[in-house]
Chain A
Amino acid sequence: MIFSSHIFLLYFLPAFLLLYFLAPAKWRNAVLLVASIVFYAWGAPDFILVLLASTVANFYLVRAMHRARRPAVKKGLCAAAIVLSLGLLAYFKYANFFVDNLNTLLALFGLSPLPWAKVLLPIGISFFTFQSLTYVVDTYRGVNAPMRRLTDYVVYIIMFPQLIAGPIVRYTDIADQITARRRLRWGECLQGFYRFVIGLGKKVLLADVIGRTVDTVLASDLAQLDSTTAWVTILAYTMQLYFDFSGYSDMAIGLGRIMGFRFPENFDNPYTSASITEFWRRWHITLGSFMRNYLYIPLGGNRRGTARTYLNLWVVFLLSGLWHGASWNYVLWGAYHGFFLVAERILSRRVGWLDTRRRHPLFVLPTFIILLVGWAIFRIEDLPSCWLFIQRLFAFQFQPLSLTADPQYYTTLLAALLFAFITLLPFGRKLQRAVFYTDFRPAAHIAAWAAATAMFFFCLGALTASDFSPFIYFRF
């Protein structure tokens, strides 16, 4: 089930909220648990048992780890829990990729390929694996005690708002909220609803509209693309990806807020970054935070000398790339970002005015162009096609653009660009604070509620109308 589906918006969500609001406080986690199981089972019924079994196993492993007195036992149990979580991820997400590559290698040596039945990727596995890891590691590190009740732990892992696409909520950030959430605050619920609708609007009215044309262009013969179309397309994809992903995060954060949770922010105007380093502080913040806390720092971070720091950065970004998908283009994309991060570090040490710690607005544009090329690598999985597309970008064969050909696409793209960069202006920052981070006064609530309700209904219309194309009458 996805948030922008009719079944979720018009049936699952109202039914869930009704039960959640009616349930006594101590039963709310149970309602959330059952709803989350239904939510997940709707999309992946054959995987729900695997998910639940691994979650239960993890819970008892961590509990045993916490109770163990000998460090070696503790460490062993911690390793077992990590292997369990990563093992599932490796099997379901990377086994096909590994076998495909192995078979390519075998074919090179004239050997027969390994027989292999393709494994289906369960939705959300990348996210709940990382959440399990934070639970294991935070408990091992003694940051938090493990959950007392199994159901609370299962709620943490499979809570439906962030199950499919994040944000990745660290155990330490949410442990208290699961066990001792404050009673419902209607103002919070309402602002959660506004946030949800903003996310829905980003996804349905911006990302989906732009995405339709992007998909069409990228499915065409890339060799025939002129440079203008190529740049506009990758610009559009850049916006599509941002508004799709951040829209989904907004919906998750909004839903969490309705239920009384405060999930961490996942995006902070990433395209206004003046360096790649800054971009990674603003883009998919919870993944960046996870990678820093659970990979970069355990690898030694920047404490083991300059060369090792650069190596650690590369490793983190290669793995981060691979986490996004089991394909070489994602690895390449990770390496591409790793390269620029390392380059920035080297340059900012040696050239004073390039110091990334001093934010220079003029660097926003070059950073954005680096990001655009990076998204081309990210989007086009087939590497020769990706290379061809990048060649078209830099062929400098510009053709005039026919803006009237698809006015909705261009208007939506312009609106997306405006929203993506608006916080470069003081007015934009003020607007963002007012909409996202201010407790509304009653009059503002009325206006915001009316706008959000209208927007919700409008999005519903867009979702419903998208493939409603009747005929006057049947023909034969």
Chain B
Amino acid sequence: MRHLPKILCLLTLGLLLLTALQGHFHIITVRPLKGVYVGTEKPQFTPSAFLSGEWQQTADRYLKEHHGFREPAIRLYNQYLWTAYHRSTNPNSVVVGQDNYLFDPQFVNEYYTGCYDYFFSDTIPDYEKTQVFYRRISRLAKLQDILDEEGTHLFLALLPGKERIYPQYLPDRGAQARRDRLFGHLRAYDFYRQFAPLYGIRHVDICHCFDSLRGRTPYLLFPKTGTHWTNIACTYAFDSIMRFMQTFGPPIRPVTLGQPYYAPTREPDADLDSLLNKIVGIPTEPNQYVDVALSDPIPARNPSLVVIGDSFFWNILYNFPIQELFAHFRYWYYFSTIYYDPDYDNVADIDLVEQLLDADYVMISHCTVSLYNLGGGFINRALLELCYDPDEIQAVRDSLAATPSNLSIDKRIDRNLEQYFPALAKSHPTRRSTRFNQLKH
């Protein structure tokens, strides 16, 4: 006992040193944190950076993100905040609703204010939204017509959002927010579900389907602690989508859905909970799951599919053997990053005309929140590249660049596409680009 203080002192020092060493050598394996963030790059020491204090600031930030036992330390504190105050430890990405239902904040904003600009973190005035929606849907109709002639079947999938299906679990934002919801704000989904049939857009309204199923299924349509549709709901939904596709396009190999069974919540159904980075997850009832198996008959040729959409399609990818159902499958995530393409990572690098003419199906899928930015730039680019040559497009861009404006060139083109490219003003554009003609011959 006489040496106890010395032992404890040295133990303290040892723990501090271990923590420092753990940061560099990862001596003990710890459960990693979930989620993505932009980390600080390792600072490069230069005398001038040191004297200005910039190096020290960056080093502070860097060490904060890389110190030893960072993961359990964060989990411990987050668990305290959750247990003691029932507070989201990650309010930028997770909002706590009623009965511990978790929501992505974008969905809560969508519910209360409508058409939350997912991309620019801003609310858009209704008159501006309407303009955007009309432009998008009329151009989509033109694009659908052009592609139909080439045997490429473009269609729109309107997917549900958690806020639309389970509004009773949303956090209450007070009387003003409720009034805003009732009396204002056009929602993208409401617009497109109404106008897609009027413009002759081929579409499947899964959101409406979920709305009608709400409370009538033995399984949850959206998980308590996840952002996206449940594993089982998305499986049934994509099965329906594939049936819908075959009403106008080439056959797809059939699949068999097994019997639903209960299982502990799987990762995608608890992505929001995992993002809270606590020690213990929020208790949930076991969810139902269903397995998908390939069936017969095998079609003579597997069709090809391009999906342009948001993260809801990931859940489908978890369940369906997509690459066995479709000969060429490409996922143009938000029409930006490309998945499942061995040659390209970003849509900026692809020959869009070639890819579109090669595809049997082009599916634009959006949930209620991301529907605001329908296609994410795809529609304009596809129309332009199908009908105009790159030098013609560049000439317009150059002339716009010479004119000062607060708006970006892309935004200006989006607002006045038909003015700058008159061939697109026709209800059925007949002009085709040189690249298109090359590929056709």
Asked if A396 is at the interface (CB within 8 A of a chain B CB), the reply is no
Residues of B within 8 A of A45 (CB): 50-51, 53, 56
Q: List the one stretch of A4-12, A59-67, A350-358 in contact with chain B.
A: A4-12
Compute how far the CA of A189 lies from the CA of B333 in the bound complex, rounded to whole angstroms.
57
Assuming A189-B9, A449-B8, A470-B275, is B67 touching A464 (CB within 8 A)? Answer: yes
Residues of chain A within 8 A of B72, CB atoms compared: 461
Distance in Å from the Cβ of A185 to the closest Cβ of chain B? 8
The answer to whether B85 touches A407 (Cβ under 8 A) is yes
In whole Å, how far is B298's beta carbon from the nearest beta carbon of chain A?
34
Nearest CB in chain B: distance from A444 CB, A: 10
Q: How many residues of B contact A (CB 8 A)?
A: 65
Q: A43-B56, A461-B77, A476-B337 given as contacts; is B20 within 8 A of A469 (CB)? A: no
Given contacts A7-B63, A408-B84, contact A13 B376 (CB under 8 A): no
A190–B35 CB distance below 8 A: no
A465 at the interface (CB under 8 A from B): yes
CB-CB < 8 A to A18: which residues of B?
13, 17
Contact B36 A6 (CB under 8 A): no
A14-B20, A186-B5, A442-B1 given; A469·B92 CB < 8 A: yes
Closest CB in chain B relative to A398 CB, distance in Å: 20
Q: Interface readout for B67-105 with A: 1 if CB under 8 Å, 0 if not?
A: 111101111111011001111011111000000000010
B119 in contact with A475 (CB, 8 Å): yes
Asked if residues A14 and B16 are in contact (CB atoms below 8 Å), the reply is: yes
**Chain B contacts of A449 at CB under 8 A?**
8, 11-12
On chain B, the residues within 8 Å of A462 by CB distance are 77
Q: Residue B8 contacts which of A7, A14, A190 (CB distance < 8 angstroms)? A: A190
Flag the segment in A210-218, A230-238, A452-460 that touches B: A452-460
Given the known A-B contacts A17-B16, A21-B13, are A469 and B74 also in contact in the complex, defined by CB atoms under 8 Å? no
A46 within 8 A of B: yes
B4 & A468 in contact (Cβ 8 Å cutoff): no
The interface bits of chain A over 433-476 (1 if a CB of B lies within 8 angstroms of the residue's CB, else 0) are: 00000000010011001000100011011111100111111111
Q: Do A10 and B78 touch (CB < 8 A)?
A: no
Contact of A101 with B by CB under 8 A: no
Closest Cβ of chain A: how far from B35's Cβ, in Å? 3
Does residue B148 face the partner (Cβ distance < 8 Å to A)? no
A469 and B95 alpha carbons, distance in the complex (Å): 12
Contacts of B275 in A (CB 8 A): 470-472
Give the chain B neighbours of A408 by CB distance below 8 A.
Answer: 81, 84-85, 87
Interface digits, B265-297 against A, CB 8 Å rule (1 contact, 0 not)?
000000110010100000000000000000000
Residues from chain B with Cβ under 8 Å of A7 in the complex:
56, 59-60, 63
A187: Cβ under 8 A from any B Cβ: yes
The residue in chain B whose Cβ has the minimal distance to the Cβ of A41 is: B50
In angstroms, Cα B78 to Cα A463, docked, is 11
Expressed in whole angstroms, the Cα–Cα distance for A279 and B260 within the complex equals 71
Tell yes or no: B23 within 8 A of A by CB. yes
Q: B334 in the interface, Cβ–Cβ < 8 Å?
A: yes
Query: Do residues A6 and B64 form an inter-chain contact, with CB atoms below 8 A?
Result: yes
- Interchain CA distance A14-B22 in the complex, whole Å: 13
A411 at the interface (CB under 8 A from B): yes
What are the residues of chain A within 8 A of B93 when measuring CB–CB? Answer: 469-472
Contact A465–B337 (Cβ < 8 Å) = no
Contact with B along A1-32 (1 / 0, CB 8 A): 10001110111011101100100000000000
Cβ of B157 under 8 Å from chain A: no
Question: B256 an interface residue at 8 Å Cβ cutoff?
Answer: no
| Bound: A13/B13 CA distance, A | 9
**B63 and A11 within 8 A (CB):** yes
- Bound: A445/B8 CA distance, A: 8
**A193 proximal to B (CB < 8 A):** yes
Mark interface residues in B1-40 (1 if CB within 8 Å of A CB, else 0). Answer: 1001110110111011101100100000000011111000
A10–B36 touching, CB < 8 Å: no
B6, A186: Cβ atoms closer than 8 Å: yes
Alpha-carbon gap, A464 to B62, bound state (A)? 11
- Whether, in the assembled complex, B109 has its beta carbon less than 8 Å from a beta carbon of chain A, the answer is no
- A10 engages B20 (CB within 8 Å): yes
Which residues of B are found within 8 Å of A474, using beta-carbon distances? 36
CB contacts (< 8 Å) of B53 on chain A: these are: 43-45
Measured between beta carbons, the chain B residues less than 8 angstroms from A17 are 13, 16
Shortest Cβ gap from A458 to chain B (Å): 6
Nearest A residue to B68 via CB reads A10
Cα distance A457–B89 in the bound complex, in angstroms:
18
Are B76 and A461 in contact, with the CB atoms below 8 A?
Answer: yes
Residue on A with the closest CB to B12?
A193
Nearest B residue (CB) for A441: B1
Q: Is B336 an interface residue (CB 8 A)?
A: yes
Chain B stretch 226-280: residues in CB contact (< 8 A) with chain A: 227, 271-272, 275, 277
The answer to whether B63 touches A10 (Cβ under 8 A) is yes
Check if B118 is an interface residue, CB within 8 A of chain A: yes
Within 8 Å by CB of A465, from B67, B69, B74, lies: B74
Q: Complex Cα distance A469/B91, Å?
A: 8
Quick check: A411 and B76 within 8 Å, CB to CB?
no
B311 within 8 A of A: yes
Give chain B residues whose Cβ lies under 8 Å from the Cβ of A387. none
Q: In this complex, what residue of B is CB-closest to A474?
A: B36
Contact B17 A460 (CB under 8 A): no
Q: In the complex, what residues of A have CB within 8 A of residue B85's CB? A: 407-408, 411
Q: Tell me how far the C-beta of B80 lies from the nearest C-beta in chain A, rounded to whole angstroms.
A: 7
Residues of B within 8 A of A469 (CB): 37, 90-93
Q: How far is the CB of B60 from chain A (nearest CB, A)?
A: 5
Min distance, Cβ A91 to any Cβ of chain B, angstroms:
20
Query: Quick check: is A419 within 8 A (CB to CB) of the other chain?
Result: no
A476 and B64 contact, Cβ closer than 8 Å, known pairs A190-B5, A193-B12, A470-B37: no
Which of B19, B89, B271 has a CB less than 8 Å from the CB of A10? B19
Q: How far is the CA of A44 from the CA of B274 in the complex (A)?
A: 40
Q: Please indicate which of the listed interface residues A13, A45, A407, A465 has the most CB atoms of chain B within 10 Å of its own CB.
A: A465
Say if the beta carbon of A42 comes within 8 Å of chain B. yes
Selected A-B contacts with CB under 8 Å, 29 pairs: A10-B16, A10-B20, A10-B23, A10-B67, A14-B17, A14-B20, A17-B13, A21-B13, A43-B56, A45-B51, A45-B56, A186-B6, A186-B9, A190-B5, A190-B8, A442-B1, A457-B73, A458-B80, A463-B64, A464-B70, A465-B73, A469-B37, A469-B92, A470-B90, A472-B275, A472-B311, A474-B36, A475-B118, A475-B334
Extra contacts, 11 of them, besides A464-B74, A472-B275 (Cβ < 8 A), are A7-B59, A45-B56, A445-B8, A464-B77, A469-B93, A470-B35, A471-B275, A472-B104, A472-B227, A473-B311, A475-B311
Q: Which 10 A-B pairs have the closest CB atoms?
A: A470-B35, A461-B77, A14-B16, A461-B73, A186-B5, A186-B6, A476-B336, A476-B334, A470-B37, A187-B5
